[in-house]
Structure 1
């Protein structure tokens, strides 16, 4: 009998051990140890930060009636904050610098004598703060809309637990099935093209009823959308990029969330989102969209004369009716956003953040947000989106700008919409005194205003703007001139997926669904495969080769990364740009002449190239820089002294 009991006991122990192991496996996969409470966020944290404070958002029915206690060396509760909703607590912790990584219980004791326990984990940091090196002018960034790039896991295409369950590749605004594994599977292609960083548009949960493919209506800031994959997939993408010496840039959204975000069903405070009273009074009839949308007057951030109502109209208005505007003036919301950004930096080992709609949130908060991140990660990079063609507005947001109102953004990089427009217009226009290439020349001359021009991110197209090939009138030569010039600038270049194969939106210029069309070869049964070259036209192959040659040269060019920039005013329908560092000089020539032309090189004598031999980066041909250069055809010429 004792033997039977012993065998039975061993069986029970083994059974529960297996189940415990399996449970831990699942918990580990999503980084959540919570089995009793609805939510505790951030879902874990780390020891060793400069800022020793941590604020936990706790969501659980009637949790405000509980008193939390923690017994763990180095962790103390400084304050417990109740919200308007009884289902929230915000717990202010201090994590002493001597605290050792580990797990501990947070015990919630209710007045009726019941208790609930949540196990929280403090992890050791995998690398030092100084080793989080962001993107810079030595990088070239490949921007991807994941749903439209490559589908490597068809099992996650449809999720019946989500509000939108339709996959339809014939519809520009439905989900098409691309996923994180798809991006990971094509890293070799991206790397061989010469890119050093990848920026996917957001892949966090967008549990919306329609149009959820783009990722900008986040409904859970700590969860990967299951139709894109899971946290493990996201980590593997970051890991594989690092193996290639590449960086992952995360697209984040501090301005707004999606209308179906879990907290919209039970908002913690009366000012958690802007226009909250308006929203709550009309929650059952939310199609009226009255007086809540942003006026989009972004100049109110800089305007010395702007009315208060106009400022609020921009900063407090909802981007669209389906995207509630977060109120960053609420200190708990502010902490939530900052901690979430840091959580993702640590979790993925990020190489940078791109922050969406930068001029729309509270600008003092954005300064604090960027400052908090850069304080912890001094070598990190953040780029903010300011969709303005006015360089004064773009320059305002960059760290070090001498703004008249004294504003300091703490933001390293901004997006160069002014240069994008200057390049496209300059390439398209007929040459005259004030049109054509002079637009590029004067556009670059605006660098006198920027605090740090080489930290600005330049681009020619992206997920919101018409594609380059469409913008330059479907002219391959024009596309090469524009792209070649952009890649030579003292900037951080970003290229949109498919630009290298002349993808276009000519059928409906500017249509977002078409701009974000499927990359050929990324989906099952595609008859054209741009990853292998199958079915591409000669023009597409030539453009792909051009991009690869320029980027792979650029990857190792100190002159382009950090060299002196010299350019000469347009002359005889040509424009010469030079990048110089030590013994390396790179020359970019744009020639808009349809017939052969000879250019006297004495005009460029000050650069000091006389008698030197240069190599054509594209053709490999050598050229002796002497009296003159013959340009036999319209296009882009890139020469280098570096062999």
Structure 2
């Protein structure tokens, strides 16, 4: 198997030397010797969720790979690739089915291209100083997975011996994920094969970690056993689609900041005020260890397709909360199309296409990525910069806080309402508004005028 894979890598490399010479020149010009992913990298990193099917008209690995140098220029450090594996047709939803209904954990979906194409994607990312993590679906498989026939004991079964789709552990009722079959983690052999399949991508295809789908639905002791085996091969980055603190103890580096995301939605929609944000930050302090990294986001593949676009949910506050996502302790996420002002819900089970036309948000994300990369005050990893809430004369409407580390300071101040108002902030001095370059003076005893959803990112002049 290893000899075959090495041959494929060699062929892919030789082929890549003859294709699209201008693009390859751009890649080689930025080539770096990529060090293993580390805690230091995570302090300043930004993560990008790549939806291969919808990213381009072609919906292929190769089409996405062409844009990797652009993502590097925009300031992306980690690429999270949504599931790339073959999709089950039995009980599938829509004409193409869900990425999360997998038939083989060690193959690629021919819809996206070949294994060689994926290898080129990883190589191009590494050559551009970027890491690649794969979306891993350990909770369930598609109904066409080989295990269904060969190892039915790998699956959860009802009293009559029928394999079932995933059930809510609290209610015992189906989640409605009828296109997938629930895996049985009481079976040690299944656990071994699952770990071996993850190891394949680390050892043979050189990926740098995993984003693990519904990680909290998988027994925690599986992760605490599997993750050390993966890290025995090389340093990797582990992201859990979950919020439970015990997953950090099991070996994950980062969790979803779901409640922070929901607080932003509620504030933007007038259902809550700034106190909801303050409560969330207090909750984070009490719930998580200092080394826990939370992923901050205003959208992702689920939110976009099922809950609405950024503009549907946040409206005129979209930029304000995009900035807040970057200023908050943790790691910011950009989902495919978000940088192009995407204002449509991408189809999930059908082919759709992101229109890659630069508008308002592309330069905003370039600036925010550069800010995070250059300022220790925005470190968001396991040695994150401090977060200090600044008092204002209207704490229910004005959010003000300071991030600081190693003598560096960055301040965020925002009117989180759709109305103009005046308020003072416990802050003295003259600062540069990072987003506009203008000089701004604050005096703690003087009211300051804010427009609706107006925000400032302040750095010392």
TM-score for the superposition, normalised by structure 1: 0.60
Provide the rounded CA distance (Å) in 1 between the counterparts of 2:199 and 2:5: 23
Which residue in the other structure is 1:326 paired with? 183
Which residue in the other structure is 2:370 paired with? 552
1:142 aligns with 2:26: no
Q: Quickly say closer, same or farther: Cα 1:336–1:25, change in 2 above 3 A.
A: closer
- Alpha-carbon distance, 1:596 to partner: 5.3
- Alpha-carbon distance, 1:365 to partner: 1.9
From 249, 254, 279, give the equivalent of 1:442.
Answer: 279
Provide the rounded CA distance (Å) in 2 between the counterparts of 1:148 and 1:590: 34
Provide the rounded CA distance (Å) in 2 between the counterparts of 1:560 and 1:599: 25
Farther-moved stretch of structure 1 (470-479 vs 331-340): 470-479
Provide the rounded CA distance (Å) in 2 between the counterparts of 1:221 and 1:367: 20
Give secondary structure in 2 for the equivalent of 1:547: helix
Which residue in the other structure is 2:24 paired with? none
Provide the rounded CA distance (Å) in 1 between the counterparts of 2:4 and 2:146: 25
Provide the rounded CA distance (Å) in 2 between the counterparts of 1:205 and 1:179: 13
Contact 2:86 2:108 in 1 (8 A): yes
Provide the rounded CA distance (Å) in 1 between the counterparts of 2:115 and 2:454: 43
From 415, 418, 421, give the equivalent of 1:591.
Answer: 415
Which residue in the other structure is 1:224 paired with? 108
Deviation readout 1:312-343 (Å, 9 max, x if unpaired): x48xx797333122223222211111121122
Provide the rounded CA distance (Å) in 2 between the counterparts of 1:26 and 1:396: 38
Which residue in the other structure is 2:168 paired with? 296
Provide the rounded CA distance (Å) in 2 between the counterparts of 1:131 and 1:194: 18
Contact 1:383 1:414 in 2 (8 A): yes
Which residue in the other structure is 1:188 paired with? 69
Which residue in the other structure is 2:424 paired with? 600
Which residue in the other structure is 2:28 paired with? none
Aligned ranges for residues 469-488 of structure 1 at < 5 Å? 470=309, 473=312, 476-488=315-327
From 378, 381, 385, give the equivalent of 2:237.
Answer: 381
Contact 1:274 1:318 in 2 (8 A): no
Give secondary structure in 2 for the equivalent of 1:555: helix
- Alpha-carbon distance, 1:641 to partner: 2.8
Provide the rounded CA distance (Å) in 2 between the counterparts of 1:351 and 1:187: 16
1:398 aligns with 2:260: no
1:618 aligns with 2:435: yes
Contact 2:185 2:219 in 1 (8 A): yes
Which residue in the other structure is 1:580 paired with? 404
Provide the rounded CA distance (Å) in 2 between the counterparts of 1:276 and 1:383: 31
- Alpha-carbon distance, 1:274 to partner: 1.6
Q: Quickly say closer, same or farther: Cα 1:227–1:642, change in 2 above 3 A.
A: farther
Give secondary structure in 1 for the equivalent of 2:409: strand
Contact 1:255 1:361 in 2 (8 A): yes
Aligned ranges for residues 1-20 of structure 1 at < 5 Å? none
Aligned ranges for residues 329-408 of structure 1 at < 5 Å? 329-377=186-234, 379-386=235-242, 394-400=243-249
Give secondary structure in 1 for the equivalent of 2:226: helix
1:271 aligns with 2:153: yes
Contact 2:87 2:101 in 1 (8 A): yes
Which residue in the other structure is 1:465 paired with? 303
1:425 aligns with 2:238: no
Q: Quickly say closer, same or farther: Cα 1:372–1:221, change in 2 above 3 A.
A: same
Q: Quickly say closer, same or farther: Cα 1:634–1:469, change in 2 above 3 A.
A: farther
TM-score for the superposition, normalised by structure 2: 0.81
Which residue in the other structure is 1:110 paired with? none
Deviation readout 1:280-328 (Å, 9 max, x if unpaired): 6xxxxxxxxxx9333324xx5xxxxxxxxx6xx48xx797333122223
Count of residues in correspondence between the two structures: 424
Which residue in the other structure is 2:251 paired with? 410
Which residue in the other structure is 2:8 paired with? 29
Provide the rounded CA distance (Å) in 2 between the counterparts of 1:190 and 1:29: 26
Give secondary structure in 1 for the equivalent of 2:217: coil
Give secondary structure in 2 for the equivalent of 1:641: strand
Give the unaligned 5+ runs of structure 2: 11-32
Contact 2:154 2:187 in 1 (8 A): yes
Give secondary structure in 2 for the equivalent of 1:223: coil
Q: Quickly say closer, same or farther: Cα 1:459–1:217, change in 2 above 3 A.
A: same
Aligned ranges for residues 176-215 of structure 1 at < 5 Å? 177-208=58-89, 210=92, 211=94, 212=96, 214-215=98-99
Contact 2:62 2:121 in 1 (8 A): yes
Look at both structures and tell me which one has the larger radius of gyration over its CA atoms: 1
Deviation readout 1:223-274 (Å, 9 max, x if unpaired): 1112211222112111111222211111011111111123333x14x51222
- Alpha-carbon distance, 1:488 to partner: 0.8
Q: Quickly say closer, same or farther: Cα 1:198–1:279, change in 2 above 3 A.
A: farther
Which residue in the other structure is 2:289 paired with? 451
Deviation readout 1:592-619 (Å, 9 max, x if unpaired): 4566544434x24xxxxx44x4222211
Provide the rounded CA distance (Å) in 2 between the counterparts of 1:220 and 1:30: 20
Contact 1:458 1:491 in 2 (8 A): yes
Q: Quickly say closer, same or farther: Cα 1:594–1:324, change in 2 above 3 A.
A: closer
Q: Quickly say closer, same or farther: Cα 1:277–1:398, change in 2 above 3 A.
A: closer
Contact 2:88 2:97 in 1 (8 A): no
Q: What root-mean-square deviation, in Å, do the aligned CA atoms of Structure 1 and Structure 2 show? A: 3.2
Give the unaligned 5+ runs of structure 1: 1-23, 32-126, 152-176, 281-290, 301-309, 387-393, 401-408, 521-528, 534-540, 605-609
Give secondary structure in 2 for the equivalent of 1:359: helix
Q: Quickly say closer, same or farther: Cα 1:181–1:456, change in 2 above 3 A.
A: same
